[in-house]
Structure 1
Amino acid sequence: MRERVILVVGYDGTELLDIGCITSSLAIANRIGANPPYRWVFATLGGNTITCDSALQVHSQAAVERFNEPLDTLLVCGGLGHTRAAENQLLVGHVRRLSTLARRVASVCTGATVLAEAGLLAGRRATTHWQFAEELARKYPDVLVDPDPIYIREGDIATSGGVTSALDLTLSFIEEDHGMALARGVALGVVAYLQRPGAQAQMSMFVSRHSSDDLVVRRTSNHIVSHLGEDLSTPVLARLAGVSERHLSRLFLTYVHETPAQYVRRARAEAAAHLLRSTEMPVAAVARRCGFGTTESLRQAFITHYSVPPSKYRQDHSAGLARRGARFRTSSMAGAAPDRAPRARSTA
């Protein structure tokens, strides 16, 4: 393989960050040694220039309808124009056609709407920006929508959450293609957290803002959620923050209402919960990934935070996810026209 061809599909109303997170990450990967290198092509209908959500214009490099070469990855961007894009059957038809040329297919943010309209998410679990998840589930009852994860990978199709999740998804592809070392280099290049788990919630303690404006607390909490598998003992955190252990504990109690150790334990428990909910990773592997070290430590944390052991939490959540999918489907079917025909999956 001489190069990995990545086709990035946009339309009027695309979110500019969706495009930038993908293409900038791939550019850095090439600069630091991706072999085979990536070649990305930004494509639109007719090869037309598009106007993004931010009113900036982006020139196309190819026309979607005239692109016929084999693809490594097809990536459909999101943005406020996703509804109009999904209503354009010419665009949808060519996305469906191009999916047959690609090794893997993915969407960023509300780009999942276009994949769903193309029939590519039927019977699959998928995510999108949390604000549009219920709308996606209502319009496409054959898709099991989970609004929580940053991204979901099912076989050769991946969907991701809002906006900057494009970076997390692209880093996961780079790691898959070229290994952890190169992905780490790209993450350093874009000054990003390398291993934010795909199962991590879009709306959680990881992305919520503390009421505190204290710089030490902010920097320390950011370090904690970005290095869950490392030594996060209070002495280590205090040394990194440049303050005494006593002062760090006092700051956390004042602004976060927890000691540093309690905050670390809660952060690890939340990360583990999302991995248990959204992956089939063995419990022991989840414990290691989230910094618990042993399954017993993980079990004790879950008893404390969720009142159930990890295995029971996973079992209960799986049932809850199925019920939520059924509820989404029921509400969607209640409002759908009875004579709506299934979306065709033939090529355009």
Structure 2
Amino acid sequence: MRHIAIAIFPGVQLLDVAGPMDVFDEANTFIDADAAYRVRLVAATPAPVRASNGSRLLPDQTFAQGAAGFDTVLVAGGPALPERAPDAALSGFLMDAAQVCARFGSVCTGAFALAHAGLLAGRHVTTHWQNAPRLAAQYPQARVELDRIYIRDGKLFTSAGVTAGIDLTLALVAEDHGADVALAVAKRLVVFTQRRGGQSQFSPYVSARPDLATASGKAQAYVLAHINQRISVEQLADAAGMSARNFARVFVQETGITPNEFVERSRVDLARSLLETTAAPLKVVAYDCGFSSAELMRRVLVRRIGVSPADYRAAFSAPSARPAAA
């Protein structure tokens, strides 16, 4: 039998817990009893733990009892976890798990709990796309990858946001019992064993309105107003009232990216919006976004978000925004 622990705390995201638990439970229907999973919830005290959605979870044991006896320990995430101060009891439990367990890791923002415990230095990790920049800034020694659904680094496993915990757990099942069992579980749960693309397909590249008081803000506003046209650095410099050489340097200082990078990100975001909300042909979407062809748009979207325009539309558009079948 394989013993699994999921660490929980007040305000935990229920899906971060329930998703992996259901994967392990479904896997038990396809494997021998002596190789089955036994999942235990671990918390600071034996008292019920209230999740962020108001549900209550009943722990099976406490952090003080340690991680010995578990094959795998996962820590779930929670919406408020990135802002919380480190929890000494949780950190101690995770440090113990890193020493005595064959595998340990996190779901979603549970990566912050691992970071609090000092377990991410020098490791390739991921977390929810909204929180990944914060994790990278707070813990610069961690090698945070923003676009991964899950990552394995040695015996450390981390996943992206919320439902990505299911992807991670399916990978653990495949490692333990083979791809066929993982596929059977995925079919039972009506999910992909390996979804296409990374989590960047869920996150906007350009979310803040440009600050027109800054040179970069004036240039960004120009890009958004002329997105379907060819845009040069010289045009952006003129919009900012600066020389091209000085403008490029100032833009990078103010935004952290080059002007050309901002232009491409803006085109990608508009393409995603049009694919989600309109039934326009791909060549029309490409033209409206400033791509020279539908093929160029396809190549850029595959590079940026890991899926083609057609696949993105199929995954994220409303039925009314999909082209009529031939």
Amino acid at match of 1:23: M
Q: Deviations over 1:206-260 (max 9, x none)?
A: 99xxxxxxxxxxxxxxxxxxxxxxxxxxxxxxxxxxxxxxxxxxx99x715228x
Instruction: Rate the CA distance shift 1:16–1:82 in 2: closer, same or farther, 3 A.
Output: same
Instruction: Rate the CA distance shift 1:181–1:269 in 2: closer, same or farther, 3 A.
Output: farther
Tell me the residue number matched to 1:156: 155
Q: Is the 8 A contact 2:66 2:93 kept in 1?
A: no
Distance 2:42 2:142 in 1: 26
Q: Is the 8 A contact 1:48 1:63 kept in 2?
A: no
Amino acid at match of 1:39: R
Instruction: Rate the CA distance shift 1:272–1:37 in 2: closer, same or farther, 3 A.
Output: farther
Q: CA deviation at 1:145?
A: 1.5
Q: CA deviation at 1:177?
A: 0.9
Tell me the residue number matched to 1:100: 99
Relative contact order: is structure 1 or structure 2 higher (C-alpha 8 Å, sep ≥ 6)?
A: 1
Distance 2:30 2:68 in 1: 26
Q: Is the 8 A contact 1:108 1:163 kept in 2?
A: yes
Q: Deviations over 1:42-76 (max 9, x none)?
A: 11012231111101111111112113432211100
Q: CA deviation at 1:165?
A: 0.3
Distance 1:72 1:183 in 2: 18
Mapped pair 1:204 → 2:228: no
1:35-184 equivalences under 5 Å are 36-83=35-82, 87-184=86-183
Amino acid at match of 2:201: S
Amino acid at match of 2:22: S
Tell me the residue number matched to 1:24: 22
Q: Give TM-score, length-normalised by structure 2.
A: 0.62
Q: Give TM-score, length-normalised by structure 1.
A: 0.59
Q: CA deviation at 1:196?
A: 1.6
RMSD: 3.2
Q: CA deviation at 1:12?
A: 0.6
Instruction: Rate the CA distance shift 1:188–1:133 in 2: closer, same or farther, 3 A.
Output: same
Instruction: Rate the CA distance shift 1:115–1:264 in 2: closer, same or farther, 3 A.
Output: farther
Q: Is the 8 A contact 2:27 2:181 kept in 1?
A: yes
Tell me the residue number matched to 2:229: none
Q: Deviations over 1:180-220 (max 9, x none)?
A: 111011001111012226xx32131799xxxxxxxxxxxxx
The percentage of aligned residue pairs carrying the same residue is 33
Larger Rg: 2
Q: Is the 8 A contact 2:3 2:38 kept in 1?
A: yes
Q: Is the 8 A contact 2:68 2:101 kept in 1?
A: no
Tell me the residue number matched to 1:216: none
Q: Is the 8 A contact 1:47 1:64 kept in 2?
A: no
Amino acid at match of 1:8: I
